[in-house]
C-alpha cells in the first residue's frame, strides 16, 4: 500500500490535537530533521547521511533532494508536497498544554518509545532530547511543527533507526487499513451465511424497539459510598411507574472522561419499557477529573480504578437492597436478583469484570514491564491497561452474581483480561465494536477476545463506521472531542444502541424468548440510518479469524 503525504496529515485528524503531536513526532523520525549539520539514517547495516541544507531546500521550495529518493524508494511516497506541508504545518496546541503532556506519565511513556526511533549521536534513546526539542519548538512564533522539533534537537547529529521507523509505518497501516479489510471480510462472510430474513408480515407486527415504551418514569438522585473512595458518589436513577411487578434493574457504567449524562438517552429509553436504570458516577474517572487525558495532557487514572469501578457497582446494589428492605418507597420496586449492566470503554471493562472476566496479572507483567523498551503500538488502550499492573490488586475476580447479562461497548480486554480472563465469563454477553475505533481497536480489543469466550448466548456486534465516541450523547458530560474522531453524527447511532439493548435485555433478563428473533441485523438495520450498519455474529472461532488474516 502506498504511504502518501495525505496519509501523514490524516493521522493528526484521526488522533486529535494532543495525540497527534505524539504520532507525528514518530513520523518526524521517518522524515528529514534539522538541528545539526546532518541526519544519519541507519537501515540494516547501512548508514545514509542527509545534509540539513538539502532538507531546508525541500521544506522551503520543494526542491528535490536525496531525502526524497531514500523515502520515495523505501516507503513509496507518492505525494512529496503533502509531506512538505506536514513538516511545516503547526499543531493546534499551546506551549502550556504541550508542557503538561510532556510531564505526564502518558507523555513520558510515549516519548521513550519514540526515542527508540530518534537516537542521539551516541546511539542512545532520544527521549530526553525529543522532550527538550518539543518544548522549545512549541515556543516558536510559527508554533509547534515537525521541522521546529528537528531544528531544536539538542545534539550535534540526529540518528534515525529506519528499520524501526518502517515498523511504525507497518503497524500504523495494520491499525488503520489492514484491520478494516479483515473486518469487512468477517462481515461479508457472516452476511453470506445468513439466508433467513424477516418476512414482510413480521416487519409489520414486530414493535419497533427504538420507539419509546408505554411507561412514564421518575428520576431520582441518591448517593452511595464505596469505602475505597474518599467521598460519596452520585447515583442517578430512572424508575418506571405504574407497573405491577418489581422492575428489572439495568446499570450503565460510563467511560473515562464522561459522566452519567452521557447515556441519559439510553436510560430514558429503557425506563419507558419498564426497566429501572441506575447510572453511577465513577468520581475519579468522570469528565470533571480527566478532561485532558484523551489528549495526553493529564495523568491516567489511578491504578486502583481497576478495582474501584466494579466495586462501585456492587456497593450501589448493596445500597438498593438495603433501601428495598427498610424504606416503604423502595419496597417491591426493584428486581435486584436479575440485573443487567451496560458499559462503554472503561465502563466496558467494568461491565466485563462484573460479568466474571478475571484480571490477568501474568499477561500484564509479561507485556508491560519495562514498557519503554517494547515496540511502539498505536493501540492507545495499552497505556491504560498497563496501569492495572501497578495496582497490585488483592482481587482478580469482581464477579457479582446479581448481574445476569452484560453489554460491553468498545471495551479494552487484550492485556487486562487476556484469553483466560475472558473465558471465565459465564453469563450472556454482547460485545459492541466500532469498526473505526482507534482508541480500543476492534480486532485486538473486541473481535479476537470474542473468540476467547466459552459460554453460549454471546453476540459480537460490529458497528460499521462506528468510532469510540459514536454512542456518547453530545450534550452529555464528556471531555471535548475533535469532530474528526467522533465520526458520523452520533444522533444517527443512538437508535441502534436503544434497540439492541432493549431486545438483548428483554431476552436475557426478562427471558422473553421471542426477542431472539428480533436480535438480528436484518431487522435492526431496518430501523436505523444507512450511515451505520450492524453485523451481528453469534459465533466466531479463532480459526475463522485466522483465515480472515490470511486473505490477500
Among 255, 304, 264, residue whose Cα is nearest residue 410 = 255
What is the tally of helices (H) and strands (E) in the chain? 24, 13
- At 465 the pLDDT is 87
Q: What SS3 class is residue 182?
A: helix
pLDDT digit string, tens, across residues 109-134? 667 777 877 888 777 888 888 888 88
* Segments of the chain with pLDDT less than 70: 1-37, 42-49, 51-52, 64-83, 86, 91-97, 100-101, 104-107, 109-110, 162-181, 188-206, 288-301, 370-378, 392, 475-484, 549-552
Cα–Cα distance, 412 to 100 (Å, whole number): 26
Longest Cα–Cα distance in the chain:
81
Summarize pLDDT for 421-479 with one digit per residue, the tens: 999 999 999 999 998 887 898 999 999 999 999 998 999 999 988 989 999 987 655 55
What would the grid cell of residue 511 be?
A: 427471558
pLDDT of residue 284: 85
Residue with cell string 431486545: 503
Q: What cell was used for 391?
A: 495496582
DSSP string computed for 431-492 = EEEETT-TTTTHIIIIIHHHTT--SSSEEEEEEET--TTTTS-TTSSB----HHHH-S-GGG
- Any idea which residue has 436505523 for its cell? 528
Instruction: Please state, in angstroms and rounded to a whole number, the distance separating the CA atoms of residues 236 and 260.
Output: 7
Which residues contact residue 247 at a Cβ distance below 8 angstroms, ignoring those fewer than 6 apart? 239, 240, 274, 275, 276, 333, 334, 335
Amino acid at each position: 500500500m502506498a504511504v502518501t503525504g495525505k496519509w501523514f496529515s490524516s493521522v493528526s485528524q484521526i488522533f486529535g490535537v494532543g495525540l497527534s503531536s505524539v504520532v507525528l513526532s514518530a513520523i518526524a523520525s521517518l522524515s528529514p530533521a534539522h538541528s545539526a549539520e546532518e541526519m544519519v539514517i541507519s537501515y540494516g547495516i547501512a548508514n545514509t547521511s542527509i545534509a540539513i541544507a538539502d532538507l531546508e531546500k525541500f521544506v522551503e521550495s520543494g526542491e528535490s533532494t536525496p531525502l526524497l529518493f531514500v523515502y520515495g524508494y523505501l516507503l513509496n511516497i507518492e505525494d512529496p508536497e503533502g509531506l512538505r506541508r506536514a513538516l511545516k504545518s503547526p499543531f493546534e496546541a499551546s506551549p502550556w498544554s504541550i508542557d503538561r503532556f510532556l510531564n505526564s506519565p502518558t507523555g513520558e511513556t510515549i516519548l521513550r518509545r519514540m526515542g527508540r526511533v530518534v537516537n542521539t549521536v551516541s546511539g542512545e534513546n532520544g527521549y530526553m532530547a525529543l522532550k527538550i526539542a518539543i518544548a522549545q519548538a512549541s515556543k516558536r512564533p510559527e508554533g509547534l511543527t515537525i521541522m521546529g522539533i528537528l531544528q531544536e534537537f539538542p545534539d550535534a547529529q540526529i540518528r534515525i533507526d529506519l528499520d524501526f521507523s518502517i515498523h511504525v509505518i507497518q503497524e500504523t497501516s495494520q491499525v488503520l487499513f489492514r484491520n478494516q479489510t479483515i473486518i469487512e471480510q468477517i462481515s461479508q462472510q457472516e452476511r453470506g451465511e445468513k439466508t433467513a430474513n424477516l418476512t414482510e408480515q413480521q416487519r409489520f407486527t414486530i414493535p419497533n424497539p427504538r420507539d419509546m415504551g408505554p411507561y412514564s418514569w421518575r428520576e431520582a438522585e441518591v448517593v452511595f459510598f464505596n469505602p475505597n473512595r474518599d467521598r460519596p458518589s452520585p447515583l442517578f436513577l430512572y424508575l418506571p411507574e405504574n407497573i405491577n411487578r418489581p422492575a428489572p434493574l439495568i446499570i450503565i457504567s460510563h467511560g473515562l472522561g464522561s459522566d452519567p449524562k452521557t447515556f441519559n438517552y439510553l436510560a430514558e429509553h429503557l425506563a419507558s419499557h419498564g426497566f429501572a436504570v441506575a447510572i453511577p458516577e465513577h468520581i475519579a474517572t468522570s469528565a470533571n477529573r480527566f478532561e485532558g487525558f484523551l489528549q495526553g495532557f493529564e495523568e491516567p487514572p489511578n491504578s486502583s480504578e481497576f478495582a474501584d469501578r466494579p466495586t462501585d457497582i456492587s456497593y450501589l446494589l448493596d445500597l438498593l437492597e438495603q433501601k428495598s428492605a427498610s424504606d416503604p418507597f423502595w419496597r417491591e420496586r426493584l428486581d435486584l436478583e436479575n440485573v443487567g449492566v451496560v458499559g462503554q470503554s472503561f465502563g466496558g471493562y467494568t461491565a466485563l469484570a462484573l460479568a466474571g472476566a478475571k484480571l490477568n496479572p501474568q499477561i500484564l507483567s509479561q507485556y508491560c514491564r519495562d514498557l519503554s523498551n517494547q515496540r511502539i503500538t498505536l493501540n492507545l488502550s495499552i497505556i491504560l491497561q498497563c496501569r492495572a499492573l501497578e495496582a497490585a490488586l488483592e482481587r482478580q475476580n469482581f464477579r457479582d452474581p446479581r448481574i445476569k447479562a452484560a453489554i460491553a461497548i468498545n471495551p479494552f480486554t487484550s492485556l487486562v483480561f487476556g484469553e483466560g480472563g475472558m473465558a471465565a465469563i459465564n453469563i450472556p454477553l454482547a460485545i459492541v465494536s466500532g469498526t473505526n475505533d482507534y482508541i480500543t481497536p476492534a480486532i485486538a480489543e473486541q473481535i479476537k477476545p470474542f473468540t476467547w469466550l466459552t459460554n453460549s448466548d454471546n453476540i459480537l456486534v460490529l458497528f460499521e463506521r462506528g468510532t469510540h465516541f459514536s454512542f456518547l450523547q453530545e450534550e452529555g458530560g464528556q471531555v471535548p472531542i475533535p469532530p474528526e474522531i467522533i465520526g458520523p453524527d452520533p444522533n444517527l447511532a443512538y437508535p441502534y444502541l436503544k434497540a439492541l439493548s432493549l431486545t438483548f435485555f428483554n431476552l436475557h433478563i426478562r427471558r422473553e424468548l421471542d426477542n431472539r428473533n428480533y436480535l438480528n441485523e436484518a431487522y435492526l438495520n431496518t430501523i436505523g440510518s444507512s450511515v451505520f450498519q450492524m453485523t451481528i455474529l453469534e459465533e466466531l472461532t479463532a480459526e475463522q479469524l485466522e483465515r480472515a488474516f490470511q486473505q490477500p
